[in-house]
């Protein structure tokens, strides 16, 4: 095709509503155009990019033996009610009713649909394991769409589901998917950090996310260079070691500390370390009373706010 016949509307100026570099560049390069909040038109060049990414994903998934399907985007509410997720999915799931007052959802995910489909098709345990996936348009009723196509209301997602006879088989498929995902990200030029994550409404005994460090990131990661531990802050357990307090104050008793206003002064008077002290300050207002407790442990300040 001649370039003169190709629709490639480039822009010299940044769009006023584009606050991140990826959004600005996609608009200026003629890849996408905004339809409304969280909705975008993919132009010919943008669609070519999208299809190349899909092909990379498809090749790596197929190499693991996964089978590609294409399920309806519209999913009956019966599926979701049987799993107990019709209400659990919250307001982010688009819900509609047809002319017969039957309820449906614009599927943000398809666990229920794949289970309904495969239940009569898998006749025996000998048919397991089976790993299925699709690359499909998904919908999410974002309360505040932003960052262009990064946080949008309509997007393309690859979702995969596997069925097994035991946990060992599940672990094998999980590791195969983990390797496939790393290959996908590597081929796309993305440097990822696998971290433990919260499964949320999706459920499951374990969840792992592949994070990309970005100035517009919204998650907090906790990484340890010594042991290699990595986790999303929502999943990271907080372990507080029990400190051996001074035997001198193993029993509760009142001690007068006249004129001593700081933790440093009190600890010096009592002959203990600052980490063994706690200071409480009460503040009264006309409506409510707040108590603020400040405790110093391991050179860090932990603040607890108790509203009474």
Q: Which CATH number characterizes residue 98's domain?
A: 3.30.930.10
Same domain, 302 and 223: no
Domain check: are 51 and 105 in the same one? yes
Of the two residues 224 and 107, the one the predictor is more confident about is 107
The C-alpha atoms of residue 149 and residue 189 are separated, in whole angstroms, by 18
Instruction: Tell which of 237, 270, 297 closes a domain.
Output: 237
Per-residue confidence (pLDDT) for residue 256, from 0 to 100: 85
Q: Do residues 159 and 219 share a domain?
A: no
Tell me the mean pLDDT in the region 249-272: 81
- Please tell me the least confidently modeled range out of 117-126, 150-159, 162-171, 210-219: 210-219
Looking at residue 48, its pLDDT comes to: 96
> What's the pLDDT score for residue 86?
93
- Choose the final residue of a domain: 129, 163, 188: 188
Whether 231 and 154 map to the same domain: the answer is no
Name the domain boundary from 237, 272, 294: 237
Give CA–CA dist 33/22, Å, rounded.
Answer: 13
For residues 239 and 187, what is the distance between their CA atoms, to the nearest angstrom? 38
Residue 306 has pLDDT above 80, yes or no: no
Residue 165 lies inside a defined structural domain of this protein: yes
Q: Residue 21: inside a domain, yes or no?
A: no
Quick one: 195 and 123 in the same domain?
no
The answer to whether 289 and 282 have CB atoms below 8 angstroms apart is yes
Number of domains in the chain: 3
Please report the DSSP string for 65-96 in residue order. Answer: T-EE----SEEEHHHHHHHT-TTTTGGGS-EE
Across 14-23, 60-69, 200-209, 266-275, least confident range: 200-209
Under 8 Å between Cβ of 118 and 3 = no
Q: Are residues 45 and 84 in the same domain?
A: yes
Question: Would you say residue 300 has pLDDT above 50?
Answer: no
Residue 27: inside a domain:
no
Instruction: Answer whether residue 29 is part of any domain.
Output: no
Determine, yes or no, domain membership for 301.
yes
Q: Indicate if 176 and 70 belong to the same structural domain.
A: yes
Same domain, 50 and 179: yes
Fill in the DSSP letter of residue 101.
Answer: -
Residue 247 lies in a domain: no
**278-284 and 230-232 beta bridge pairing:** unpaired
Question: Both 279 and 221 in a single domain?
Answer: no
pLDDT at position 304 is 38
Q: Which domain holds residue 269?
A: 262-307
Q: What is the pLDDT of residue 295?
A: 47
Quick one: what percent of the chain has pLDDT higher than 70?
84
pLDDT computed for residue 123 by the predictor: 94
Q: Are strands 278-284 and 289-297 parallel, antiparallel or unpaired?
A: antiparallel
Looking at the structure, tell me whether residues 62 and 143 fall in a common domain. Answer: yes
In a domain, 41, yes or no: yes
256 inside domain: no
Other CB atoms within 10 A of residue 113 CB: 21
Q: How far apart are CA 55 and CA 71, in angstroms?
A: 19
How many C-beta neighbours within 10 Å does residue 86 have? 17
User: What pLDDT is stored for residue 52 in this prediction?
Assistant: 97
3-class SS at 87?
coil
What mean pLDDT value characterizes the chain?
85
pLDDT in tens, 180-230: 999 999 999 999 988 887 766 555 667 888 988 888 888 888 888 888 788
83 and 61 within one domain = yes
Whether residue 48 is found in the same domain as residue 65: yes
Closest alpha carbon to 235 in 214, 218, 221, 225:
221
Q: What pLDDT score was predicted for residue 25?
A: 94
- Backbone φ and ψ for 72, nearest 5 degrees, come out as -60, 140
């Amino acid at each position: 095709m001649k370039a003169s016949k190709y629709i490639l509307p480039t822009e010299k100026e940044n769009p006023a509503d584009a606050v991140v570099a990826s959004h600005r560049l996609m608009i200026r390069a003629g890849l996408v155009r905004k339809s409304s909040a969280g909705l975008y038109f993919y132009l010919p060049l943008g669609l070519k990019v999208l299809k190349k990414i899909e092909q990379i994903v498809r090749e790596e998934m197929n190499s693991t033996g996964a089978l590609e399907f294409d399920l309806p985007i519209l999913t009956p509410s019966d599926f979701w009610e049987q799993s107990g997720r019709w209400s659990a999915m919250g307001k982010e799931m688009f819900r509609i009713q047809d002319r017969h007052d039957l309820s449906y959802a614009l599927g943000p995910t398809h666990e229920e649909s794949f289970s309904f489909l495969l239940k009569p098709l898998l006749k025996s345990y000998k048919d397991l394991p089976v790993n299925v996936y699709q690359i499909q348009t998904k919908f999410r009723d974002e309360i505040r769409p932003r960052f262009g196509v990064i946080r949008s209301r309509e997007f393309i997602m690859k979702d995969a589901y596997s069925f097994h006879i035991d946990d060992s088989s599940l672990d094998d498929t999980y590791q195969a998917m983990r390797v496939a995902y790393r290959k996908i990200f590597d081929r796309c030029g993305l440097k990822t950090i696998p971290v433990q994550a919260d499964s949320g409404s999706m459920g499951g005994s374990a969840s792992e996310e592949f994070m990309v460090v970005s100035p517009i990131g919204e998650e907090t990661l906790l990484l340890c260079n010594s042991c290699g531990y990595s986790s999303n802050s929502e999943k990271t357990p907080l372990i507080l070691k029990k400190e051996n307090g001074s035997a001198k104050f193993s029993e509760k008793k009142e001690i007068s500390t006249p004129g001593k206003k700081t933790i440093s002064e009190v600890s010096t008077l009592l002959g203990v370390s600052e980490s063994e002290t706690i200071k409480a300050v009460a503040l009264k207002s006309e409506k409510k009373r707040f108590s603020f407790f400040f405790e110093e442990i391991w050179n860090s300040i932990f603040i607890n706010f108790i509203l009474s």
